[in-house]
Structure 1
Amino acid sequence: MTGMTNRRPLVDARRAAVAAIGALLCLGTLAGCSASSTSGDSGREPATVRKSVVDVVERSAAAVGGNWKVYSGPSVEGCGDGVEDKARYVYIMERSGSTGDEPDDDVKAMAEFWDGEGIATTAYKSGGADPLLGMRGKGGPILTIAFNAYPERYSITAVSACADGNVSDLLEDE
């Protein structure tokens, strides 16, 4: 029993070290995302990035077919905490689930379309016996984009690059 008592502080110290390293990695990732979403974006017009995000989502929807409807947006939001002079747009479309094609085929079609648009893609698959499928992307004409090919409801969500503009002023214009 004494051997186990002596090992406990070592196990706790390892767990604390792993947690600290994980926290630092998370903070570094978040800081990198905040910096990249606001730096180097000067000169982009809000109307241009708004049109860009709408265009790529609508053409993505056409690439897999079906009857898509706007769920939300394009809605304006800030490009990071405390950043008042940069704005981006979020646009979401959705449709009822599969139209006869398998979700796997739709994910492949989306990957091909996004590859042609210069969007770097990563396939998504949930766990379990009947996994949910999707595709994530970034780059090209947008900051990030996601396609969920869930049996009951498909969705495409995209976030534009940042543009010059005050979010409050842009919200008034909508």
Structure 2
Amino acid sequence: MRTRVICAVATGAAVTLLLTSCGSSDSGGTGRQPSTVEKSIVDLVERSTAALGGKWEVYSGPSVEACGDGASDSARYVYIMDRVDRPGGDPTADLDEIKALWKGAGIEFSDYESGGADPLLGVRGSGGPTTSIGFDAFPKGYSITGVSQCADGNVSELRKSE
């Protein structure tokens, strides 16, 4: 039962991260290349997982999506990695590690904490090379979800090359 609750909270957090990132999109004319923003979000997420150690696997992506409502000429990438070995460290220390890394990358962030007697911890950020990024430091599994900046490019054409 607790595993289902954690999965539901993690899924909800990822959906919230993706939905809230839609409102802060650029709408075309960014001057950025899709390959550049894709590489930047993959690098950031992978540097974040490396800083924490453990065994991580790609859950999704990097997948291209429209950068805002009806913006077929502007694209961004979503990249999600999950930790597949059970975290054995201190979630608070791991959050501090991520915050230090993200601060150095020019990302502004805020803490996230679920309710209840045993709250689930996380941090959400934006800026630097990302539209939004989140780290969930849940005892049964860690997850990092990154959404790149917007780039010029036709989403349909970019999806064909995925």
TM range (shorter): 0.7 to 0.9
SS at match of 1:42: coil
**Which of 23, 26, 47 lines up with 1:59 in the alignment?**
47
Corresponding residue number in structure 2 for 1:130? 118
Higher radius of gyration, 1 or 2 = 1
Quote the Cα distance in structure 2 between the aligned partners of 1:108 and 1:42. 32
**Which of 71, 74, 94 lines up with 1:106 in the alignment?**
94
Quote the Cα distance in structure 1 between the aligned partners of 2:117 and 2:58. 31
Higher relative contact order (CA 8 A, sep 6+): 2
SS at match of 2:115: coil
Q: Does 1:155 align with 2:136?
A: no
Alpha carbons of structure 1 residues 40 and 83: separation in structure 2 relative to 1, 3 Å: closer
SS at match of 2:25: helix
Structure with more of its chain in helix, by fraction: 1
Quote the Cα distance in structure 1 between the aligned partners of 2:79 and 2:113. 23
Identity of aligned residues (%): 60
| Runs of 5+ unmatched residues, structure 2 | 1-19
**Which of 73, 92, 96 lines up with 1:85 in the alignment?**
73
| Runs of 5+ unmatched residues, structure 1 | 1-29
Counterpart of 1:158, as a letter, is G
Corresponding residue number in structure 2 for 1:74? 62
Q: Deviations over 1:54-94 (max 9, x none)?
A: 00000000111111110000000001111110000000001
Counterpart of 2:68, as a letter, is G
Output the TM-score relative to the length of structure 2. 0.83
Output the TM-score relative to the length of structure 1. 0.77
Counterpart of 2:121, as a letter, is L
Q: Structure 1: which 4+ aligned runs deviate by more than 6 Å?
A: none
Instruction: Number of aligned residue pairs: give it.
Output: 143
Counterpart of 1:110, as a letter, is I
Alpha carbons of structure 1 residues 91 and 125: separation in structure 2 relative to 1, 3 Å: same
**Which of 121, 128, 131 lines up with 2:109 in the alignment?**
121
Alpha carbons of structure 1 residues 169 and 55: separation in structure 2 relative to 1, 3 Å: same
Structure with more of its chain in strand, by fraction: 2
SS at match of 2:122: strand
SS at match of 2:106: coil
Q: Deviations over 1:134-166 (max 9, x none)?
A: 010100111110000011110000000000000
SS at match of 1:143: strand
SS at match of 1:38: coil
Q: Does 1:45 align with 2:66?
A: no
